[in-house]
């Protein structure tokens, strides 16, 4: 896999330069600075003292040449054009102090290059470069010629494709997690509801979900320790897209990272927790606390002729038929017992869940999902599937069963957990704020509930 740094260098080298090398060698201004902490120095380059001023550490005052001219960074390559940050907006500007630019300010050469560079910076490659190096956007204290505003919506990055799985897996595996969001499968399946984008910012993978309401980060940046600069930059990107700044947020923050967000001035709101169980408890169902579960499993085994099989791509169509039937019956039951506002809320959650399940089933094999089905009288009457989160935790993403067959849901859940005995823990995700789902998950006596948070600006 090409690193973000290597990818940046490859793209940077493709960018045409406005000022020729011959003109650069005659210049007495570039690469020389009045102070050490100047915003005019190249991003991420040190400056060193020389005589009564400072120079870039790669600049040779004797030859007037850059020691890494052939691999120079983007900000050096495009000067006298600058990425100027003003409040929450980013602009392409021109520095009129450059003599070469001044002589050509009214020329077609200038107009063509300005248009070329502006279009590049508003492209996917340009946005990826700017996102990888947030320090390129600087608030300059001198008057600059504004060429155009760089749209921050482009900074959301590339649309998610299945081929990106290798990139996601590499970043996800850098640290151990037990929550469901840390899985390529559980990001990929939401593409039917969101425009899922990702960008690599300072060697961290940032995942954005966007719909008609705006965009948010589905989970914190992946790739290492939490970084304040990356977090602020991601909020700048989201604020540049969202009309309502309260839409800008980071979802699925774990308890261990809570302090980082609070210390940096973000407000946290608790989400519905995820339920984690000891796998062995779900297999044995020992003790009075599981008495009803054992009874349901026994009832199903005694009263139905069934087969328990692997969920394969060949059974997907039948599973989708069951899903449609299950959704219809769930809505019917909800409609007879709830207020209209509750029905709308439940219906929305149910529809979203079914769309995600459909995407998962249609991509079952290539997402490396693992699942089982139960046939009753030859017909698929229940299915379940999920994915590994780590060597010791498996996440069950879905379980759907014919509501008219008593005990089948409890039976397939127990049998699937038996197949997953090599994992120490089972994560069955959250309860979506639904009381009936919460009661069911609580009835299996979770080993713990993992608290998750959403972060917004104060």
Beta strands, E only, 135-228:
145-149, 158-159, 195-201, 204-211, 214-217
The confidence score (pLDDT) of residue 137 equals 81
Give the Cα separation of 24 and 22 in Å (integer).
Answer: 5
pLDDT at 5: 56
Distance between first and last Cα of the chain: 38
Report which of 253, 169, 229, 176 is spatially closest to residue 205, judged by C-alpha positions: 169
For residue 337, pLDDT beyond 80: no
**From 5-9, 445-449, 451-455, the region with the lowest mean pLDDT:** 5-9
Average pLDDT over residues 391-418: 98
User: β-strand 89-94 against 81-86: which pairing, if any?
Assistant: antiparallel
**Which residues does residue 375 pair with via DSSP β-bridges, in sequence order?**
307, 380
- Other Cβ atoms less than 10 A from the Cβ of 205: the count is 21
Hey, where are the domains in the chain? 4-150, 158-264, 274-451
Quick: pLDDT tens for 99-148. 898 889 889 999 999 989 888 888 777 777 777 777 778 888 777 888 88
Percent of the chain topping pLDDT 70:
93
Q: Cα separation of 131 and 199, whole Å?
A: 7
Please provide the average confidence, as pLDDT, over all residues in the chain.
89
Q: How confident is the model at residue 69 (pLDDT cuts 50, 70, 90)?
A: confident
H/E element holding 90? strand 89-94
Q: State how far the Cα of 152 lies from the Cα of 146, in Å rounded to an integer.
A: 16
Region 146-165: mean pLDDT is 83
The CATH number that domain 274-451 falls under is 3.40.630.30
What would the CATH number be for the domain defined by 158-264? Answer: 3.40.630.30
Q: How many CB atoms lie within 10 A of CB 374?
A: 25
Determine the pLDDT at residue 44.
65
pLDDT band at 449 (very low <50, low <70, confident <90, very high): very high
Is the pTM value of this prediction over 0.85? no
Residue 371 pLDDT level (bands cut at 50, 70, 90): very high
454 pLDDT more than 90: yes
Listed in sequence order, the residues at least 6 apart from 163 whose beta carbon sits closer than 8 Å to its beta carbon are none
Do 158-264 and 274-451 fold alike per CATH?
A: yes
The pLDDT assigned to 2 comes to: 45
């Amino acid at each position: 896999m090409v690193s973000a740094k290597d990818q940046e260098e490859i793209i940077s080298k493709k960018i045409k330069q406005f000022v020729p090398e011959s003109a650069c060698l005659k210049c007495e201004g570039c690469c020389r600075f009045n102070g050490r902490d100047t915003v005019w120095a190249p991003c991420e380059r040190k400056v060193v003292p020389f005589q009564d001023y400072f120079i870039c550490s790669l600049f040779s005052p004797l030859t007037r040449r850059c020691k890494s001219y052939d691999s120079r960074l983007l900000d050096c390559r495009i000067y006298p054009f600058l990425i100027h940050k003003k409040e929450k907006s980013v602009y392409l500007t021109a520095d009129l102090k450059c003599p070469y630019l001044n002589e050509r300010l009214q020329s077609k050469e200038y107009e063509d290059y300005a248009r070329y560079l502006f279009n590049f910076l508003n492209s996917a490659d340009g946005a990826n470069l700017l996102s990888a190096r947030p320090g390129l956007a600087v608030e300059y204290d001198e008057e600059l010629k504004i060429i155009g505003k760089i749209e921050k919506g482009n900074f959301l990055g590339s649309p998610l494709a299945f081929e990106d799985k290798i990139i996601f897996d590499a970043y996800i595996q850098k640290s151990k997690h037990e929550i469901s969001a840390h899985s390529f499968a559980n990001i990929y399946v939401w593409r039917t509801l969101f425009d899922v984008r990702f960008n690599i910012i300072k060697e961290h993978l940032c995942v954005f979900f966007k719909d008609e309401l705006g965009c948010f980060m589905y989970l914190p940046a992946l790739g290492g320790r939490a970084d304040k600069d990356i977090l602020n930059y991601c909020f700048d990107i989201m604020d540049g897209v969202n009309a309502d700044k309260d839409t800008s947020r980071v979802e699925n923050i774990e308890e261990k990272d809570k302090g980082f967000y609070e210390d940096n001035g973000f407000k946290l709101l608790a989400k519905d927790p995820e339920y984690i169980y000891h796998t062995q408890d779900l297999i044995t169902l020992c003790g009075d606390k599981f008495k009803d579960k054992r009874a349901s499993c026994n009832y199903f085994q005694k009263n139905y002729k069934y087969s328990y099989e692997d969920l394969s791509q060949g059974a997907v169509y039948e599973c989708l038929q069951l899903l449609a039937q299950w959704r219809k019956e769930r809505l019917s039951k909800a409609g007879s017992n709830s207020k209209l506002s509750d029905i709308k809320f439940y219906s929305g959650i149910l529809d979203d869940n079914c769309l995600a399940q459909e995407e998962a089933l249609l991509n079952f094999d290539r997402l490396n999902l693992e699942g089982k089905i139960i046939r009753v009288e030859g017909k698929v009457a229940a299915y379940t599937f999920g994915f590994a989160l780590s060597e010791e935790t498996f996440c069950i993403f879905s379980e759907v069963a014919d509501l008219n067959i008593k005990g089948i849901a409890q039976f397939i859940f127990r049998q699937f957990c038996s197949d997953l005995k090599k994992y120490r823990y089972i994560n069955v995700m959250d309860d979506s704020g639904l009381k009936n789902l919460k009661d069911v998950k609580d009835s299996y006596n979770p080993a713990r509930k993992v608290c998750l948070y959403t972060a917004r600006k104060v």
